[in-house]
C-alpha cells in the first residue's frame, strides 16, 4: 500500500520568510495530492491540492510542486504570517475513474511563524 513520509516534523520561520514542507510517496499509481492545514483545536482544512497531470499549482502565497518521477511533492508558503502557524499534513491517494483509495496522510509538520 501507499506510504507517505513528511519532513520536517517541526519548522520555525521568521515572519515574512518562506516555508517549505516536503513529502514523498511510494505508490506510483497515486494521482491526487492534497495539503491540509489544522489550526489548534480545529478540524483539518484543505488549502491546496494537485493532480498528477500538473507539475505546479499556485494560490496566492501558497504553491505546491509535484515531481512524479522522484515521487515527491512540496508545499511552499511565501511571505509567512503569524496566522500561518498550524500543523500541515500532506496526503496521497488514487482518485478517479480507474479506482479510489483512501487518503494516506503524512505525520504532519508543525509550523511556527515568529513575529
Partner 1 sequence: EADIYQTPRYLVIGTGKKITLECSQTMGHDKMYWYQQDPGMELHLIHYSYGVNSTEKGDLSSESTVSRIRTEHFPLTLESARPSHTSQYLCASSGVGGPRSFYEQYFGPGTRLTVT
Note the residues at the interface with partner 1 (CB under 8 A).
32, 34, 38, 40-46, 49, 51, 87, 89, 95, 100, 102-103, 105, 107-108, 110
Instruction: Please report how close the Cβ of residue 74 comes to partner 1 at its closest, in angstroms.
Output: 19
CB of 61 to partner 1, least distance (A): 20
Residue 58 to residue 75: CA distance in whole angstroms: 10
Identity of the residue, 76 or 110, whose beta carbon is nearer to partner 1 in the bound complex = 110
Q: How far is the CB of 16 from partner 1 (least distance, A)?
A: 25
**Comparing C-alpha atoms, which of 17, 25, 32 is closest to residue 84?**
17
Closest CA to 92 of 113, 72, 69, 78: 72
Which one, 18 or 45, has the nearer CB to partner 1? 45
CA–CA separation, 1 vs 55, rounded Å? 24
Q: How far is the CB of 110 from partner 1 (least distance, A)?
A: 7
Q: Output the nine-digit C-alpha cell for 41.
A: 483545536
Is the bond preceding residue 8 a cis peptide, omega within 30 degrees? yes
Amino acid at each position: 500500500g501507499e506510504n507517505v513520509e513528511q519532513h520536517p516534523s517541526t519548522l520555525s520561520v521568521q515572519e515574512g520568510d518562506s516555508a517549505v514542507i516536503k513529502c514523498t510517496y511510494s505508490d506510483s499509481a497515486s494521482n491526487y495530492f492534497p495539503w491540509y492545514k489544522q489550526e489548534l483545536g480545529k478540524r483539518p482544512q484543505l488549502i491546496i491540492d494537485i493532480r498528477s497531470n500538473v507539475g505546479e499549482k499556485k494560490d496566492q502565497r501558497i504553491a505546491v510542486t509535484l515531481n512524479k518521477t522522484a515521487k515527491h511533492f512540496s508545499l511552499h508558503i511565501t511571505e509567512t504570517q503569524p496566522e500561518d502557524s498550524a500543523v500541515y499534513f500532506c496526503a496521497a491517494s488514487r482518485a478517479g475513474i480507474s479506482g479510489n483509495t483512501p487518503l494516506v496522510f503524512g505525520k504532519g509538520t508543525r509550523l511556527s511563524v515568529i513575529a
